Amino acid sequence: MPTIEQVVQRDICVGCGACQFATRGEINVRRNELGYYSADLSRARPHNLATASRVCPFSNESQNEDVIAAAVFPAVLKSDPRTGRYLSIAAARVRADDYLLGSSSGGLTSWILMQLLESGHIDGVIHVGQGGDGLFSYRISRSRQELTARRKSIYYSTSFNTALQSIHGDGQRYALVGVPCFIKSARLLCMEDRLLAEQLVYFIGLVCGHLKSAAFAELLAWQCGVSPAGLAAVDFRLKQPGQDAGRYHFGARAGLVNSEWITRPTSQLLGGNWGHGMFQLNACNYCDDIFAETADVVLGDAWLPEYRADWRGTNILLCRNALIQQLIDQGKTAGELFIQPLSVAQAANSQAGNFRHRHEGLALRLADDQNAGHWVPNRRVMPDHNVVGNRRRELIRRRRELSRASHGLFAEAREQGSLDLFIDRITPLVRQYERYNAASLPRRLLGLAKRRIQLILS
């Protein structure tokens, strides 16, 4: 049996839409009542299930990140198990401060896309922006104006089938932007579809902690006084001059015109703490790719103390493509970009929480699932109960439970029109998590101190 069936049955589907594209719509991927995309395999014939399984990032019939990277990148690239292959690693920022206000981090993602477009290497960009199906969806941008308007991180479930269908066979070349699993499934699609492979010429990855359902935007907005029914737009990353870059605000609007943005510090909103994993998709519990290992370049936030202190935001950047590297080097020489080389250890350190969740955490979750007799996808991390101590083990389990419960509890609160209902029911789970979190803090601080000493010595 193709394991895509297990992926969907166990709710490990991330909703990318690759199976829908590969089966010309026989598999339908749509947003469910919990606010995230997932596949419906009920009408798929066996040969199409087999095809879909080859492009699904979580099935056992698809190639893993190591195999894909070996096929698409030159062997001369350096490699590290934490980051995958790389040509260069740096902290980076666009130097124009007014431009940076409209970007989430250092602005390099949209800057690279603009260079590719304006130098004629691509005709358009396939990326997530406002509008379409829900608050955000995959859109096609073909001009500087469109690229400038569609910036910032979108923590919201989307699917790329409709966008890919709309460009398929139009004879033009595109860059695709996505979180690591979307980049992986697009690469897998290109292995199956030569026409698409000729069109998707650059893959731009975003470092990814986890993806959220639409409920994340709705919960934060509701606390700003905008109910789910009246919500017209959100901004997940409003920079705060003079403050730590991680202390960004969230904004919500009830209408697209003549309506004020209502903003609050994200960290003060229930659900705004990424450690709680509220509305995280279950797929993310099974993911081991942090640095989009199959992308030509990957960008994230340089969450290291020296860059965090700068409110403008700074990217962590890993480049794997010679032409993109050349564009970056030219931007540096022209004085448009701030670029500071970093070591692979610094890159990994900038995502320390991600590694705890996705490597140690994944090993434990796989072991827990196997013990419970559940199917699990083949991952590059092995199941292991003893990868962490007792307290951390409980913390990882509490986080998983909090994450799982948040979806249903919010759907009920939304139906009943009561934010308080959600707050009352989720709060005990948050408290329980925080008790374990406080208990494991001294160990994490010790780990941090050890890593800093290693960095100084390296």
Ligand X SMILES: Cc1cc2nc3c(=O)[nH]c(=O)nc-3n(C[C@H](O)[C@H](O)[C@H](O)COP(=O)(O)OP(=O)(O)OC[C@H]3O[C@@H](n4cnc5c(N)ncnc54)[C@H](O)[C@@H]3O)c2cc1C
**Sites of contact with ligand SF4 (CB under 6 A):** 4, 7-8, 13-19, 29, 39, 55-58, 179-181, 185, 208, 210-211, 281, 283-284, 287, 289
Q: Given the complex with ligand X, which of 67 and 448 has the nearer CB atom? A: 448
Could you tell me the two tokens for 5?
């069936």
Asked if 300 touches ligand X (CB under 6 A), the answer is: yes
**What minimum distance in Å lies between the beta carbon of 396 and ligand SF4?**
15
Could you tell me the two tokens for 120?
């004629």
Stretches 185-193, 201-209, 396-404, 433-441: which one binds ligand X (CB under 6 A)?
201-209
Q: How far apart are CA 403 and CA 405, in angstroms?
A: 6
**What minimum distance in Å lies between the beta carbon of 101 and ligand X?**
10
Residue type, 451: R
**What minimum distance in Å lies between the beta carbon of 203 and ligand SF4?**
13
Of 118, 101, 75, the residue nearest 327 (C-alpha): 118
Asked if 15 touches ligand X (CB under 6 A), the answer is: no
Other CB atoms within 10 A of residue 241 CB: 8
Q: How far apart are CA 349 and CA 355, in angstroms?
A: 9
Of 382, 316, 315, 356, the residue nearest 448 (C-alpha): 356
Q: Which of ligand X, ligand SF4, none does 110 bind, CB closer than 5 to 8 A by kind? A: ligand X
Could you tell me the two tokens for 273?
């703490």
**What minimum distance in Å lies between the beta carbon of 362 and ligand SF4?**
10
Asked if 128 touches ligand X (CB under 6 A), the answer is: yes
Q: Given the complex with ligand SF4, which of 57 and 124 has the nearer CB atom? A: 57
Strands, DSSP E only, in 191-314? Answer: 200-206, 233-238, 249-253, 262-265, 297-301
Stretches 125-133, 216-224, 355-363, 435-443: which one binds ligand X (CB under 6 A)?
125-133
Report angle CA 194, 196, 199 to the nearest 5 degrees. 115
Q: Which of ligand SF4, ligand X, none does 153 bind, CB closer than 5 to 8 A by kind? A: ligand X
Stretches 9-17, 41-49, 177-185, 279-287: which one binds ligand X (CB under 6 A)?
177-185
* Contact in structure between 407 and 279 (CB atoms under 8 Å): yes
Number of residues that make up the chain: 458
Residue matched to tokens 């705004």: 272
Asked if 284 touches ligand X (CB under 6 A), the answer is: no
**What minimum distance in Å lies between the beta carbon of 134 and ligand SF4?**
16
**What minimum distance in Å lies between the beta carbon of 317 and ligand X?**
8
**What minimum distance in Å lies between the beta carbon of 129 and ligand X?**
5
Q: To which H or E segment does residue 399 belong?
A: helix 390-416
Q: Where in 325-364 is the site for ligand X (CB under 6 A)?
A: 351, 354
According to DSSP, residue 323 is labeled H
Q: Which of ligand X, ligand SF4, none does 363 bind, CB closer than 5 to 8 A by kind? A: none
| Strand 200-206, strand 337-341: pairing | unpaired
Q: Given the complex with ligand SF4, which of 181 and 429 has the nearer CB atom? A: 181
Q: Given the complex with ligand X, which of 48 and 105 has the nearer CB atom? A: 105
**What minimum distance in Å lies between the beta carbon of 205 and ligand SF4?**
9
Could you tell me the two tokens for 278?
């509220």
The CA R_g of the chain, rounded to the nearest whole Å, is 21
Asked if 293 touches ligand X (CB under 6 A), the answer is: no
Residue type, 228: P
Residue type, 118: E
Q: Which of ligand X, ligand SF4, none does 53 bind, CB closer than 5 to 8 A by kind? A: none
Q: Given the complex with ligand SF4, which of 182 and 250 has the nearer CB atom? A: 182
Asked if 205 touches ligand X (CB under 6 A), the answer is: no
Residue type, 195: L
Could you tell me the two tokens for 25?
């719509």
Other CB atoms within 10 A of residue 449 CB: 10
Q: Which residues contact 390 (CB under 8 A, 6 or more apart)?
A: none
Q: Given the complex with ligand SF4, which of 180 and 361 has the nearer CB atom? A: 180
Q: Which of ligand SF4, ligand X, none does 107 bind, CB closer than 5 to 8 A by kind? A: ligand X
Q: Which residues contact 48 (CB under 8 A, 6 or more apart)?
A: 22, 23, 26, 27
Could you tell me the two tokens for 51?
């095809």
Asked if 129 touches ligand X (CB under 6 A), the answer is: yes
* Chain residues that interact with ligand X, rule: CB under 6 A: 103-110, 113, 127-129, 150-155, 177-179, 206-209, 211, 299-301, 303, 315, 351, 354
